[in-house]
Amino acid sequence: MPLALEPNKTFKVVLESDKKKPADKQPYFEFRFLSGRAWKMLAQKRAEIQKSASGDEAFDKLFEILSVGMVGWGNMIDPDTKKPIPFNKKDLDRLLTISELSEILVKFQNQGLEVDDLKNLG
């Protein structure tokens, strides 16, 4: 069955800055594999960013793009309360810096494959 139709087939993305942490402590984002139709919709959203009236609007659209395939996260700890942050896509802008957003977007677009994995495909 195609990956995009498998609800239990997901991949995790870990920020480079977190990869030195023990595997069971690494904060991660979890995504579903997207269909071609979903990727076309995301391409349209990326085109809309160029037409954004403000930087805030552009950043909102970037967070919206990232949230499309996101189905969860783990090991996200609130620095003030030291408690886990429950999964809620609307809180993405609370978790990520702009540079981290960019990193996660690239990894999401690569469907969880690392750069070394992509080099080995061709």
Residue 13 vs residues 23, 26, 56, 62, 63: alpha-carbon distances, Å: 12, 10, 25, 17, 15
pLDDT of residue 122 exceeding 60, the answer is no
Would you say residue 102 lies in a domain? yes
Could you tell me which of 61, 63, 59, 109 has the C-alpha nearest to residue 88? 63
- Report pLDDT digits (tens) over 18-35: 999 999 999 999 999 988
Q: In percent, how much of the chain has pLDDT > 70? A: 91
Would you say residue 120 lies in a domain? no
Would you say residue 35 lies in a domain? yes
Would you say residue 42 lies in a domain? yes
Q: Could you tell me the residue range of the domain that residue 74 belongs to? A: 3-113
Would you say residue 122 lies in a domain? no
Would you say residue 70 lies in a domain? yes
> Taking CA 18 as the corner, what is the angle to CA 63 and CA 87, rounded to the nearest 5 degrees?
45
pLDDT of residue 121 exceeding 80, the answer is no
Output the six-digit token pair for 62: 């970037």
| Total number of domains constituting the chain | 1
The pLDDT score that the predictor gives to residue 58 is 85
Would you say residue 13 lies in a domain? yes
- Report pLDDT digits (tens) over 39-61: 888 888 888 888 887 888 888 88
Would you say residue 119 lies in a domain? no
Using pLDDT thresholds of 50, 70 and 90, give the confidence band for residue 112. low
Total-model pTM: 0.82
